[in-house]
Structure 1
Amino acid sequence: MNVQDLHSIFLEFPSVNTDTRKIKKNDIFFALKGDNFNGNTYAQQAINNGASYVIIDQEEYYINDKTILVEDTLVMLQKLAHYHRNFCSAKVISLTGSNGKTTTKELIHAVLARKYKTIATVGNLNNHIGVPLTLLSIKLNTEIAIVEMGANHQKEIQFLCEIAEPDFGFITNFGKAHLEGFGGVEGVIKGKSELYEYLIKSKKSIFLNADDPIQLEKLKNYTKKYGFSSINSKYYKIELEDAQPFVIIKVEDTVIKSKLIGAYNFHNCCAAIIMGKFFNVELPEIKIALEKYTPENNRSQIIKKNGHYIILDAYNANPSSMKVAIENFNSLEKTNKVLILGDMFELGNSAEEEHQAITDLAKTLLFENVLFVGENFYRTQTSSIKLKNFEELKAYLSQNNLPANSSLLIKGSRGMALERALEYIQ
C-alpha cells in the first residue's frame, strides 16, 4: 500500500498507536520493532483490543483485511506523518536545544493557544517515532503545531526536519548534553544547529535568543530572524525582574509573575513571549498564559513536605542544567539548604570530569548538606556524603532526619528517578 492510500484510511481513523497496551477503539496500530520486542507479534492483540487496522512488515503475521503489509512499519509511519503534515494547513514551529525544550514547548503552546487552534508534542515524544506521532495529531483545523525535537547524535535533527518541514524554529541553548553521542560540546552545537541549517536553506523564519553569543554569531548574516534580548537594544526587550524563587518578567509596561523557579527559565519564557508577539497575541493574553502555567512531571516543581521546602527537578540532568540549577538554588534566600544530586548519564569519556566539576561547585558554594547519589558521583573526590545507588539513599534518608525546615534541591538524570526520594524525606 502506498502512503497516499494509507492516508485516506488515516483520515477515516485519525488516531495512531504503537503500544497495544494503550490501544483505543479504532486506532491504527503500527507494529514497530525494537531491540527487545517485535510489534508484529502483537497484531492479533491489537485487533482484539479494538484497532481498526494494523500495519505490519512481516507477512507471516497477516491476519485479515484489517492487516496492511508494508515494507517497513517505521519508515511508513514517518512517510505518513510527512504526507499528513503537508496535507494540513497548520504552520509548524520546531524547537530543539540542550536544556529547557519541553518547558519552552509547553510555554509556547500556552501562549499561542490563547488565539489559535494549536497542538504540541505530548511530553517529550521528540525522537524519530515521537515527531511523526506529533505530526499525526495535527487536525484539519489545527492552525499551529509545536514540535519538539530531541537528538543525541549528528544528523538526527536534520532527519527530523525532513519529516516535519518546519516553517519556524527556535534553539533553546547549547549545553553539555548527550556528549557521548555528539562527541563533545562542539558536536552538540553542530548537531543542534542542523535546525538552523534547514531553516536557512529553506528560507524560513528563526526565533533568536540574542543574549546567546553562539546564536548571534551563527545567525549574524540571516535576515529572517526575530529576536529577544535583555541586553541588546537591536532586539525586542524583555527584562528579568526577579527569581526569588519565581521568575518575574517585565516586557513593555507589563509585569508577568510566573510559577517557574530559577533564572534559567527566563529565556524559556522569553521564547514564548516573542512568538506570541510575532503571531499577534495581545500582551495581556500572553501574561495570562504565562502566569497560569504550572510546571509538573518533576520539572522544577515546588513541594512542601514535613516542614521542608523542596525543589523537585528530577526529570533529567546534564552538566549545564545541573550547574545552573545549583547556582540558582544557591542564590535563593533560603536557610538549611540541602542538595540531593544524582548521576548524569550519556557523558561518555567526560563523565568523570563533569561529575567532579559538580562536586567542586558544591564545595565552592559552601553547601554543607550534600548527598551525591550514583556510581559516577561515588567515584569523585569530595568530603560530602556519597551513596552508590538509590537504595543507599533510601536507607540514609530513612535513618537520618534532615535539619528542620530545610530547603532541598533534588536533581538527577531520568534514569536515577530521584523523585522516589520524596517518600523517605522526614
Structure 2
Amino acid sequence: MTIEQLHSLYKVHHAVSTDTRNITSDSIFFALKGERFNANEFAGQALESGANWAVVDEAKYVVDERYILVEDVLATLQELARYHRRQLNIPFVGITGTNGKTTTKELLYAVLSQRFKTYATKGNLNNHIGVPLTLLSIDDSIEMAVIEMGANHQQEIAFLCDIAAPTHGLITNVGKAHLEGFGSFDGVKKAKGELYDFLKMQDGVLFLQGDNEYLHGMEMQRGISKTVRYGFSSENDIVGRLEYANPLLCVSWKIRDVDEYHTVQTQLTGSYNTENILAAIAVGHFFGIDDAHINQGILAYTPTNNRSQISRTAHNTVIADYYNANVSSMEAALANLAVIEAQHKVIVLGDMFELGEDAAKEHRRMVEKALAIGADRTIFVGEAFHAYQSPKAEFYETTDNAKEALSERPIVNSTVLLKASRGMAFEKLMEVL
C-alpha cells in the first residue's frame, strides 16, 4: 500500500491510535515497537476494540484484510504525517527551546484561539512519535497549528521540521540541558538552531527574542530575512516590561514606535515567563489579532502540570515547578523567588538529570546560588545534591527521606519553591506542605 492509498484510508477513518487502551471506533491502529513492547502482538486486540485497520510490520500477525503490512510501522506513521501535513495549507508555528516550550505553546494557543480555530500539541507530544500523532489530529477545519518540538540529540529538530514543515517558528531560549546527548552548550545551540535552518531554507517567518544574545547570534549567522523581534529594549517590534511578580505576573507591552502600553494581569508565576508571554503577543499581533483579544487570551491561560504553577495549600503558597529541571530553568526559578515579596521563603531543590560530566559542577553551583538567597530553609534532595553538605542547608538522599523530614518539622506560612527533574517525584512533597 502506498502512502497516498494509506492517506485515503486515513481520510475516511481519521482517528489514529498507538495504544490499545485508548482505541476509538473508526480508527487506524499503528503497532509501534519499543524497548519493552511489541504492539504487533496486540493488533488483533485493537481491531476487536473498534479499530478498522491495524498497521503492522511482522507478517506472522496478519490474519485478514484489515491488517496493513508495512516494512516499518514507525517510519510509515511518520511518512503518513508528513504527507498529510503537505495537504494542509495553513500557518504552522514550530516551537522549540531549552525551557518554556510547553508554556509558550499554550500561550500561543490561548491567543490565536481568540480569532482562529487553532490546534496545538497536546501535553508534551513533541518527539518523533508525538509530532506525527499531533499532525494526524489536524483536520481540514483547523486554521492555525502550533507544534512543539523537543530534542535531546543532534538532528532531531531537523527531522521533526522535515515532517511538520513549520512556516513560522521560534526558539524560546537555549541553555544547559540534555548535555549527555548534545555534548555541550554549543551542541545545544546547534541542535535548536536546526529550526532556524529550516525557516531560512523555506523563507519562513522567525519570532525572535531580540535581547537574547545567543538567539540573536544564531539568527545573525543565518541571515533570516523575515524576523519579528520581541523583548524589553526599544529596538524590538514588540516591547514589554514586567510590572510586578508577587507571585503572579503583571506585564505591559506595546508596539515599537507607539507610546501606549497595554497591561495584562496573568495567572503565571516566574519572571522568566515574561518572555514567553511576549512571544505569544508577538505571534498574535503578527497574525492580526487586536490588542484587547491578545490580552484576553493571555489572561485566560492558567498553567497546569506543575509548570510555574501556584498551589495554595492549607499551610503554604507553593510554586510547583517540578515538571522538569535543568541548569537554566533552576537558575531562573531561584532568581524569581529572590524578587518575590514574601515574609517567609523556603527553597526545595531536587537533582537535575542528564547533565553528563557537568553534573557535579552544576549541582555545586546551584547549592551556592540557593544559599545566597538567604531563605528561611534551604533543602536539597537527591544523590547529586547530597554529595555537598553545608550547615546552612538540609540535605536528603531521596524524596521519601525529605518527605519524612518535612512531616517531622513542617513548613508553615511560607512561600515554597519546589524545583526538580521529573524523576524526583516531587509531587510526594505536596502531601506534607
Name the TM-score class by shorter chain. Answer: over 0.9
Which of the residues 351, 355, 369 maps onto 1:361?
369
Do residues 177 (structure 1) and 185 (structure 2) align?
no
Instruction: Tell me the distance in 1 between the aligned counterparts of 2:401 and 2:325.
Output: 20
Do residues 314 (structure 1) and 322 (structure 2) align?
yes
SS of 2:272's partner is: helix
Q: Which amino acid aligns with 1:309?
A: T
TM-score normalised according to structure 2 size: 0.96
Instruction: Tell me the distance in 1 between the aligned counterparts of 2:252 and 2:6.
Output: 49
User: Following TM superposition, by how much is the alpha carbon of 1:367 offset from its aligned partner in structure 2, in angstroms?
Assistant: 2.5
Corresponding position of 1:66: 66
Instruction: Tell me the distance in 2 between the aligned counterparts of 1:99 and 1:196.
Output: 17
User: Following TM superposition, by how much is the alpha carbon of 1:241 offset from its aligned partner in structure 2, in angstroms?
Assistant: 1.7
Moved more, 185-194 or 82-91: 82-91
Which of the residues 398, 402, 412 maps onto 1:393?
402
Corresponding position of 1:410: 418
Q: Which runs of 5+ in 1 are unaligned?
A: none
SS of 1:80's partner is: helix
Instruction: Tell me the distance in 2 between the aligned counterparts of 1:113 and 1:227.
Output: 22
Do residues 237 (structure 1) and 239 (structure 2) align?
yes
Instruction: Tell me the distance in 1 between the aligned counterparts of 2:409 and 2:375.
Output: 18
- Give CA deviations for 1:179-221 in whole Å, capped at 9, x if unaligned: 1110011110111001001111121111111011122222233
Moved more, 174-183 or 221-230: 221-230
Instruction: Tell me the distance in 1 between the aligned counterparts of 2:401 and 2:171.
Output: 38
User: Following TM superposition, by how much is the alpha carbon of 1:378 offset from its aligned partner in structure 2, in angstroms?
Assistant: 1.0
Corresponding position of 1:349: 357
SS of 1:249's partner is: strand
Residues 211, 232 of structure 1: 8 Å contact kept: no
Instruction: Tell me the distance in 2 between the aligned counterparts of 1:390 and 1:61.
Output: 44
Instruction: Tell me the distance in 2 between the aligned counterparts of 1:85 and 1:339.
Output: 45
Residues 93, 168 of structure 2: 8 Å contact kept: yes
Residues 210, 232 of structure 1: 8 Å contact kept: no
Instruction: Tell me the distance in 1 between the aligned counterparts of 2:189 and 2:37.
Output: 34
Which of the residues 306, 310, 314 maps onto 1:302?
310
Corresponding position of 1:3: 3
Corresponding position of 2:227: 225
- Give CA deviations for 1:274-314 in whole Å, capped at 9, x if unaligned: 00000001110001000011001111111111221111111
Residues 32, 73 of structure 1: 8 Å contact kept: yes
Moved more, 123-132 or 415-424: 415-424
Moved more, 247-256 or 214-223: 214-223
Residues 418, 426 of structure 2: 8 Å contact kept: yes
User: Following TM superposition, by how much is the alpha carbon of 1:79 offset from its aligned partner in structure 2, in angstroms?
Assistant: 0.3
- Once the two structures are superposed, the pairs formed by residues 146-295 of structure 1 within 5 Å of their partners are 146-220=146-220, 221-252=223-254, 253-295=261-303
Q: Which amino acid aligns with 1:106?
A: E
Instruction: Tell me the distance in 1 between the aligned counterparts of 2:82 and 2:216.
Output: 31
Instruction: Tell me the distance in 2 between the aligned counterparts of 1:376 and 1:49.
Output: 46
Residues 412, 418 of structure 1: 8 Å contact kept: yes
User: Following TM superposition, by how much is the alpha carbon of 1:380 offset from its aligned partner in structure 2, in angstroms?
Assistant: 2.2
Superposition misfits of 4+ residues, deviation over 4 angstroms: none
- Give CA deviations for 1:54-90 in whole Å, capped at 9, x if unaligned: 1100001112221111000000000000000011222
User: Following TM superposition, by how much is the alpha carbon of 1:234 offset from its aligned partner in structure 2, in angstroms?
Assistant: 4.7
Corresponding position of 2:125: 125
Q: CA separation of 1:336/1:236 partners in 2, compared to 1, >3 Å: closer, same or farther?
A: closer
SS of 1:87's partner is: coil
- Give CA deviations for 1:301-328 in whole Å, capped at 9, x if unaligned: 1111122111111111001000110111
Q: CA separation of 1:406/1:236 partners in 2, compared to 1, >3 Å: closer, same or farther?
A: closer
Q: Which runs of 5+ in 2 are unaligned?
A: 255-260
Instruction: Tell me the distance in 2 between the aligned counterparts of 1:296 and 1:6.
Output: 37
Residues 371, 378 of structure 2: 8 Å contact kept: no
Q: Give the share of equivalent positions with the same residue, in percent.
A: 44
User: Following TM superposition, by how much is the alpha carbon of 1:235 offset from its aligned partner in structure 2, in angstroms?
Assistant: 2.8
Moved more, 153-162 or 360-369: 360-369
Residues 89, 142 of structure 1: 8 Å contact kept: no
Corresponding position of 2:100: 100
User: Following TM superposition, by how much is the alpha carbon of 1:341 offset from its aligned partner in structure 2, in angstroms?
Assistant: 1.1
SS of 1:370's partner is: strand
Instruction: Tell me the distance in 2 between the aligned counterparts of 1:98 and 1:154.
Output: 14
Instruction: Tell me the distance in 2 between the aligned counterparts of 1:327 and 1:227.
Output: 24
Corresponding position of 2:257: none
Residues 95, 148 of structure 1: 8 Å contact kept: yes
Residues 389, 395 of structure 2: 8 Å contact kept: no
User: Following TM superposition, by how much is the alpha carbon of 1:136 offset from its aligned partner in structure 2, in angstroms?
Assistant: 0.6
Instruction: Tell me the distance in 2 between the aligned counterparts of 1:385 and 1:8.
Output: 61
Instruction: Tell me the distance in 2 between the aligned counterparts of 1:379 and 1:407.
Output: 26
Instruction: Tell me the distance in 2 between the aligned counterparts of 1:104 and 1:382.
Output: 37
